[in-house]
Structure 1
Amino acid sequence: MDRTLYFILLLIALCSISECVQRKYHFINVWKTWTEAQRYCREKYTDMATADNMNDMNELKKSLNDERVWIGLQKTGGNKWQWSSGDPALYLNWATRQPNGKYECAFMRNGEWYDWSCSNSLTFICNSSNMNTGLVFVNQMMNWRDAQSYCRQNHTDLVSVRNQNEKQQVQKFINDSHISNDVWIGLFRDSWQWSDQSHSSFRYWAPGEPDNSRGAENCAGMRQLTKGHWHDYSCDNKYPFVCHEGEQILTKSIQNLQIS
């Protein structure tokens, strides 16, 4: 087999796409507005910091040398449904006349989905890698974001229903567990987007955030007081910030190959 092709196949087998992308974060201890920080990061590095998962967040938390730090998340005009796990919502199973456009979180009833206010309380289902079924029913009433935090802290995340097969698995779990009430699932509608146009829907909001408490809080930052969880702030505020530079390790390795 050609040496180049063998090396490519080996790399693909050893790592997923997300694991083959390396980000290096840079804490910039200069106070700038969000837009000024974005311009600086794009000129000096790749862009403002993006987070795809908790591994990224653990690295970002190392930048918390100050009370508040900008990251590259900003509210946009778009508002799309997506999964808490970070997967896009390509499969949709809404009940009749749903969603009605008023609310931003979703629950499941008799195998179908309904949108509802995220501040309401329901029981919920978590994904878990430690159970035979991969699912855990939490018989506690929580709002959607508290349920999300609970699942992430104690299991993996709020349950995703990304296709017909997963819908059947979740419905069977509900039937076998004799769950008669509505349950939160990990589907939510979000108008926040990363500066580098990443499609990551990973979110790490502090409880009750984003709240737009003072109006026009359209940019996101980490806060030391809440252990790195995110808060929404006015983009005109000035804080230190985090940039990232990234490279695709797989692409770079292939380019550096000496073809035999």
Structure 2
Amino acid sequence: MTATAKIMHLILLLSGLSFQFSHGLQPQFVFFQTPKTWSEAQSICREQCFDLATINDMREMEIVLEAVGDKYDDAVWIGLSKGTTLRWHWSLAGDEFYKEGERNYLLWSSVNDYNCAIFKDGMLNSVSCDYQRYSICFDATKQGADQYILNTQGMVWTAARDYCRTHYTDLTSLRNDGEYQIVQEVASGYGVYVGLFRDPWEWSDQTDSSFRYWNPAETVWTGGTQNCVAMLKENSGKWGDRACTETHPFVCDCRNKLSFIKLRISPQDSMLDLNNPSVQADILEQVSQTDLC
């Protein structure tokens, strides 16, 4: 792999001056078949790639499933592990979907020990995820009020989420006052599931992806007896919790890795104008032809 493909931020330290070049990043999932504990897998991914895999949506999950294929016997580690704090998330992931402050624009009427949320009379209420209720789906392919669809089939929260993902985009989020008003009109007075849920699971790279792909026996999973998460072959790659000390193959995110390169300027180069864009471009071209370990 060339330096250009590996560099996340290239910083050239030249005679006390620095230049920084940034490259767009996309996850690149790589499957490692040698079994390791979760912590060992995390260390290897951070050393050789970027981190253990974070999965942001179903499209990325399908890429991981394709990368892993049938090349494992039991389980495959991903970058999810159990934290110590229950946090609220929207089912519809994707940073580009939320402006600043919109993820946490939560107008509560009541919050208790339950881990799913309904919308009723303009406010949110935490409820059991196991009750069958109507729900509001969101369709990203439409515009305005047409994006919000009332599902009048009574379902538990996870079934409602899967229904909305299958037929539309996801359960709806509530990002601002305008969406609260629209959803109130679409809900027609019913208490309806929206995409808000609470769990303690955290990604190794500290991103806040709310995507979950638990095995069918689980609802919103908060109490898992083990602290690390793996894809399970018996559930066609859906997730389950495992003891972190078990050894399994693992999936890394091998996006461009942060690299630092120091270059010495020899005396014959002392006349270089390091502020000249053409000189900077030539330096980057030279470095990009170097393979980094």
Do they superpose with TM above 0.5?
yes
Query: How many Å separate the matches in 1 of 2:134 and 2:170?
Result: 14
Do the aligned residues in 2 keep the contact of 1:211 with 1:232 (CA within 8 Å)? no
Query: Could you tell me how far 1:61 is from its partner in structure 2?
Result: 0.5
Do the aligned residues in 1 keep the contact of 2:174 with 2:180 (CA within 8 Å)? yes
Query: How many Å separate the matches in 2 of 1:70 and 1:257?
Result: 42
Q: 1:112 to 1:170 in 2, by over 3 A?
A: same
Query: Could you tell me how far 1:152 is from its partner in structure 2?
Result: 1.1
Do the aligned residues in 1 keep the contact of 2:87 with 2:198 (CA within 8 Å)? yes
Choose which of 28, 37, 40 in structure 2 pairs with 1:36.
Answer: 40
Q: 1:257 to 1:231 in 2, by over 3 A?
A: farther
- Paired residue for 2:272? none
Deviations 1:89-117 (A, max 9, x none): 3201101xx212x1111001111110011
Query: Could you tell me how far 1:244 is from its partner in structure 2?
Result: 1.2
- Paired residue for 2:170? 157
Structure 1 residue 258 and structure 2 residue 271: aligned?
Answer: no
Query: How many Å separate the matches in 1 of 2:88 and 2:190?
Result: 23
Deviations 1:194-213 (A, max 9, x none): 10111222222222336578
Q: 1:233 to 1:109 in 2, by over 3 A?
A: same
| Letter of the 2:46 counterpart | R
- Paired residue for 1:108? 119
Query: How many Å separate the matches in 2 of 1:212 and 1:91?
Result: 23
Structure 1 residue 54 and structure 2 residue 58: aligned?
Answer: yes
Do the aligned residues in 1 keep the contact of 2:136 with 2:151 (CA within 8 Å)? yes
Q: Give the root-mean-square deviation of aligned CA atoms.
A: 2.3
Q: Which runs of 5+ in 2 are unaligned?
A: 1-23, 258-278, 283-293
Do the aligned residues in 2 keep the contact of 1:26 with 1:242 (CA within 8 Å)? yes
Aligned with 1:190: secondary structure?
strand
Tell me how many residue pairs correspond in the alignment.
225
Query: How many Å separate the matches in 2 of 1:126 and 1:37?
Result: 37
Query: How many Å separate the matches in 2 of 1:219 and 1:164?
Result: 37
| Letter of the 1:99 counterpart | V
| Letter of the 2:128 counterpart | S
Query: Could you tell me how far 1:182 is from its partner in structure 2?
Result: 1.2
TM-score, normalised by the number of residues in structure 1: 0.79
TM-score, normalised by the number of residues in structure 2: 0.70
Query: Could you tell me how far 1:234 is from its partner in structure 2?
Result: 2.1
Query: Could you tell me how far 1:160 is from its partner in structure 2?
Result: 0.5
Query: How many Å separate the matches in 1 of 2:46 and 2:182?
Result: 44
Deviations 1:6-52 (A, max 9, x none): xxxxxxxxxxxxxx431111111111221121122112211101111
- Paired residue for 2:157? 144
| Letter of the 2:64 counterpart | L
Aligned with 1:246: secondary structure?
coil
Choose which of 186, 189, 192 in structure 1 pairs with 2:195.
Answer: 186
Structure 1 vs Structure 2: percent identity of aligned residues? 38
Do the aligned residues in 1 keep the contact of 2:50 with 2:256 (CA within 8 Å)? no
Structure 1 residue 120 and structure 2 residue 134: aligned?
Answer: no
Query: How many Å separate the matches in 1 of 2:164 and 2:238?
Result: 16
Query: How many Å separate the matches in 1 of 2:90 and 2:198?
Result: 9
- Paired residue for 2:111? 99
Q: 1:42 to 1:231 in 2, by over 3 A?
A: same
Do the aligned residues in 2 keep the contact of 1:109 with 1:181 (CA within 8 Å)? yes
Query: Could you tell me how far 1:257 is from its partner in structure 2?
Result: 8.0
Q: Which runs of 5+ in 1 are unaligned?
A: 1-19, 249-255
Do the aligned residues in 2 keep the contact of 1:81 with 1:89 (CA within 8 Å)? no
- Paired residue for 2:210? 201
Query: How many Å separate the matches in 1 of 2:166 and 2:236?
Result: 14
Do the aligned residues in 2 keep the contact of 1:145 with 1:208 (CA within 8 Å)? no
Name whichever of 72-81 and 239-248 sits farther off.
239-248
Within 5 Å, which residues of 2 pair with 1:5-24?
20-24=24-28
Q: 1:258 to 1:239 in 2, by over 3 A?
A: same
Query: How many Å separate the matches in 2 of 1:219 and 1:139?
Result: 36
Q: 1:131 to 1:137 in 2, by over 3 A?
A: farther
Aligned with 1:57: secondary structure?
helix
Q: 1:93 to 1:257 in 2, by over 3 A?
A: farther
- Larger of the two Rg values belongs to structure: 2
